[in-house]
Structure 1
Amino acid sequence: MSAVTGTPVTTGTGVPAARRLRLGGMTWLVWRQHRAAFLTVLGASVLLLVWIVFQRAGLIDFLTGYGWPTNDLADLGPEFEPYAAAFAPVSTALGLIPVVLGVFVGAPLLAGDLEHGTAKLVAAQSATRTRWLATKLGLTALVLTVSTVALSLAFGWWWAPVKEETTVLDWTSGTAFDTTGPMLVALTLFTVVCGVAIGVVLRRTLTAMVVTFVFAVAAQLAWGQARLALGDVVTVTTNRGVVAENSFPVLPDAAYQIDQSYLTGSGELLGWSTCVQSETEQARELCLKQADVVGWSVDYLPISQMAGMQWLGAAILFALTAAVAAFLFLWGRKRLV
């Protein structure tokens, strides 16, 4: 409806424009304001999804010709290397998504409005600041969730046939752990919402982007150090000595070994470097015997724990994201403009 005459505004087809819009009110306003960023995210996600589907098709064709799943993939020769190498650039790109979106979507989301005075204009309208903030965060979270869920599922689908091949990806590394399951979604939402909070506090777009970049990199590094703590360490011991053939315990496929120690008859653990300075093999065996070493003690994480670790980590990140969002709403009620 025209604001001047009160007559309905129609399109070339004669249908009132308001009836043709799928978004309305505050949602339409936020979409229009940030549609370039949203469409860029969605478009880049589609391109990456197409590439993943293409790569998986090639991988499955190769594995089928090799005799998968009947034949053991451990015997794959050099011809498999190009297919294994294809994972690295894609996993790296996925790992950068939280940082990139935190800087270019999260930090400017409200900082730009605060810096240029748009927030004051919005606050002067009938819509409340809480509704404006909720729409901004909600629509942004929806776009990012759709994109990252699709990418995470597609990458996990591609990786699944060779998941237990550590030469392809180490499941405990960020290139695999943080790009599959719920982790990519959780890390992205956490970084973006933190970027929004940084922008609200600093109220300057460029400054907020720089600080968000530093924060996102630091958060990724800290998360990398804490990732393994999400699992329950499994310990396996032996009592067949440590120098005999096949004395070392057999670990499950793709298990991540955390530590290994010598086990004594009294149950004490000694470092694996014990007696390593012995000049001869006979001297080493005598040294181990004198130390009462009877076998190995090995700590590891099985790949079967990966999904549980991811969901636990995602739950922690979702809780932190909710806490930051709550801060934004509390801040926004009094100091947003």
Structure 2
Amino acid sequence: MIWLTWRQFRGQALVALAALAALTIFLVVLGLRIRGTYDANVGCTGCSADSGAQLLKDKYFNVLLLLGFLIILVPAVLGAFWGAPLIARELETGTHRLVWNQSVTRTRWLAVKLSFVTLAALAFAGLLSLLFTWAASPYDRALNDRFDPLFFPTRNLAPLGYAVFAVVAGITIGLLIKRTVIAMAVTLAAFAAMQILMPTVLRQHLQPVVHESVAFVAADSHGLGLNQKGQVSIPGYDVPGAWVLTANPLLLDADGRQPPEATVKPCFTGEPGQAKQCLEALNLHSELSYQPADRYWTFQWLESGVYLLLALLLAGYAFWRIPRGLS
């Protein structure tokens, strides 16, 4: 069975190896360039960390963003083109009957196919994630924003969980639908749904949210806003390295109330920097909800675990169904 599975799968595997070789060369060159820019503008003696980080962002944000989309796309492609056709193609053409009439049981047939392709996808996604994480590490260290929703799912462990889930989901969907093209489309839709659901609904609840009263510090704010109600908001207010969940927090006084408009409005008559200093002198604070920076690896493990658990449940269902629901 292993030899037969390899014979059926080798064309896809060779294409994947060629793509991985090309991406490896590109990511190694990119990683060396990012390191050169980091050493010259951030890690050097007397360099300004803030200006160096901004330079890295200006120079490499777009390319890292595009590569991040590719990292996310890879599990979807593996699930649709490796997982979905693996069983659906044989059921659609009827070639599975030849194997089942031999000494190979249905369960063993499914176990070998599922294990072989899932391990191949895990290895491919793991190597790609390792290379990309290495290449982007100076950028991530300078920007200190690993929870960014555009970057969190593209580094370290998360892509491995996505790949395993996508492939097992594709195999299970193919087993149920028995039509290759439809199974591929449904697999892509299921993966896309999970990629939307996880960051928008589930991820922030994987750990209890921290609620904290934070004193307003002019140096930590990236902007100010004064609405028609006289409320002062601070868009982009940041806790270094953390995932801030409160959008545009409002400034409050010591009693937790909105300060009178007559108190804060005079601060907005000068330059933005003077406005921040003026508001800081009023001893205002904001109520923030966030996930601390030191939970990054916890979230990586938990999110990967969620996808692996879903993959395990899908695989269990496939093994339960195949002796019962197919003729």
TM over 0.5: yes
Pairwise CA distance, 1:278 = 9.0
Residue identity opposite 2:241 in structure 1: A
Pairwise CA distance, 1:94 = 0.5
Q: Answer yes or no: is the 8 Å Cα contact 1:165–1:254 preserved in 2.
A: no
Pairwise CA distance, 1:304 = 2.4
1:146-200 deviation line (CA, Å, top 9, x unaligned): 111111111111222121444xx95334432111121101011112211111111
1:285 maps to: none
Q: Answer yes or no: is the 8 Å Cα contact 1:103–1:210 preserved in 2.
A: yes
What RMSD, in angstroms, separates the aligned Cα atoms of the two structures? 3.2
The yes-or-no answer on 1:233 pairing with 2:204 is no
**Residues 101/276 of structure 1: CA separation in 2 closer, same or farther (3 Å cut):** farther
1:309 maps to: 299
Structure 2 unaligned spans of 5+: 222-233, 268-282
**Residues 245/317 of structure 1: CA separation in 2 closer, same or farther (3 Å cut):** closer
Query: Hey, what's the Cα distance between the residues in 2 that align with 1:263 and 1:333?
Result: 64
Larger Rg: 1
Query: Hey, what's the Cα distance between the residues in 2 that align with 1:67 and 1:51?
Result: 23
Residue identity opposite 1:235 in structure 2: H
Pairwise CA distance, 1:305 = 1.5
2:132 maps to: 155
Query: Hey, what's the Cα distance between the residues in 2 that align with 1:294 and 1:81?
Result: 33
| Equivalent residue in structure 1 for 2:51, among 62, 75, 79 | 75
2:80 maps to: 103
2:266 maps to: 281
The yes-or-no answer on 1:190 pairing with 2:184 is no
Q: Answer yes or no: is the 8 Å Cα contact 2:130–2:156 preserved in 1.
A: yes
Using the size of structure 2 for normalisation, the TM-score is 0.79
Query: Hey, what's the Cα distance between the residues in 2 that align with 1:277 and 1:184?
Result: 52
1:116 maps to: 93
| Equivalent residue in structure 1 for 2:240, among 253, 257, 275 | 253
- Tell me the secondary structure at the aligned position of residue 254 of structure 1: coil
Using the size of structure 1 for normalisation, the TM-score is 0.77
Residue identity opposite 2:62 in structure 1: A
**Residues 90/246 of structure 1: CA separation in 2 closer, same or farther (3 Å cut):** closer
Pairwise CA distance, 1:79 = 7.5
Q: Answer yes or no: is the 8 Å Cα contact 1:95–1:175 preserved in 2.
A: no
**Residues 277/333 of structure 1: CA separation in 2 closer, same or farther (3 Å cut):** farther
| Equivalent residue in structure 2 for 1:299, among 269, 272, 289 | 289
Q: Answer yes or no: is the 8 Å Cα contact 1:129–1:333 preserved in 2.
A: yes
Pairwise CA distance, 1:107 = 1.0
1:36-63 deviation line (CA, Å, top 9, x unaligned): 1122223222221221111001111222
Q: Answer yes or no: is the 8 Å Cα contact 1:95–1:174 preserved in 2.
A: no
Q: Answer yes or no: is the 8 Å Cα contact 1:233–1:300 preserved in 2.
A: yes
Query: Hey, what's the Cα distance between the residues in 1 that align with 2:50 and 2:105?
Result: 61
1:262-309 deviation line (CA, Å, top 9, x unaligned): 55655x576xxx766999438xxxxxxxxxx96322222233211110
| Equivalent residue in structure 2 for 1:320, among 296, 302, 310 | 310
Query: Hey, what's the Cα distance between the residues in 1 that align with 2:175 and 2:184?
Result: 11
Bigger drift between 309-318 and 151-160 goes to 151-160
Residue identity opposite 1:54 in structure 2: V
Residue identity opposite 1:108 in structure 2: P
The answer to which structure has the higher helix fraction is 2
- Tell me the secondary structure at the aligned position of residue 133 of structure 2: helix
**Residues 95/69 of structure 1: CA separation in 2 closer, same or farther (3 Å cut):** farther
Question: Aligned residues: percent identity?
Answer: 28
- Tell me the secondary structure at the aligned position of residue 298 of structure 1: strand
2:192 maps to: 217
**Residues 149/78 of structure 1: CA separation in 2 closer, same or farther (3 Å cut):** closer
Bigger drift between 256-265 and 206-215 goes to 256-265
Q: Answer yes or no: is the 8 Å Cα contact 2:153–2:159 preserved in 1.
A: yes
Residue identity opposite 1:114 in structure 2: L
Pairwise CA distance, 1:251 = 5.1
The yes-or-no answer on 1:60 pairing with 2:50 is no
Q: Answer yes or no: is the 8 Å Cα contact 2:34–2:136 preserved in 1.
A: no
The yes-or-no answer on 1:49 pairing with 2:41 is no
